[in-house]
């Protein structure tokens, strides 16, 4: 079982990993950059997120100040799935993910994110990111059979 993306060798699973993804026809340097850009309709914010020199951590931190798009909660899962799917359709991410076989993947964290992951302090969480990654892995493995 993969319990956290911070474990050596599993960092590629993180949304912070460097990989070019597109959202609304615009390139971003990571899934995190693109996903955080999607949270707001502010064009200045979107340009801020496109900057390749800004760390995903900074983008995530600054996103907390943004006014969310209407109905964000109903959109966020499909946006994340699209971005994560783009990432894992590219090498070396695709091969690394397929090499996990049927391992359970959880986005274990210590910052109490119970929606995208599992809080390692309490064991609580919905693990939506881990489940999305496993869904994409299953689809990729069926194509590669």
The CA distance from 145 to 142, in Å, is: 5
Spell out the domains of the chain, with CATH numbers in brackets: 11-143 (1.10.357.40)
- The pLDDT of residue 57 is 94
- The pLDDT of residue 28 is 98
- The pLDDT of residue 29 is 97
- The pLDDT of residue 143 is 77
Q: Which residue in this structure is represented by tokens 């993180």?
A: 14
- Token duo for residue 62: 């600054």
Residues in the chain, pLDDT under 50: none
State pTM to two decimals.
0.94
Q: Which residue in this structure is represented by tokens 């599993």?
A: 10
- The pLDDT of residue 144 is 64
The CA distance from 14 to 5, in Å, is: 6
- Token duo for residue 100: 């996990």
């Amino acid at each position: 079982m993969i319990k956290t993306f911070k474990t050596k060798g599993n960092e590629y699973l993180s949304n912070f990993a460097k990989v070019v993804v597109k959202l609304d026809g615009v390139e971003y340097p990571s899934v995190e950059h693109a996903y955080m850009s999607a949270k707001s309709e502010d064009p200045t914010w979107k340009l801020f997120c496109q900057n390749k020199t800004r760390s995903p951590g900074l983008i995530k931190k600054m996103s907390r100040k943004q006014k969310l798009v209407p109905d964000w909660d109903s959109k966020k899962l499909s946006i994340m799935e699209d971005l994560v799917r783009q990432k894992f359709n590219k090498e070396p991410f695709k091969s690394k993910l397929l090499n996990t076989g049927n391992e359970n993947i959880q986005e274990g964290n210590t910052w109490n994110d119970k929606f995208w992951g599992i809080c390692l302090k309490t064991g609580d969480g919905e693990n939506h990111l881990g489940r999305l990654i496993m869904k994409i892995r299953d689809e990729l493995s069926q194509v590669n059979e």
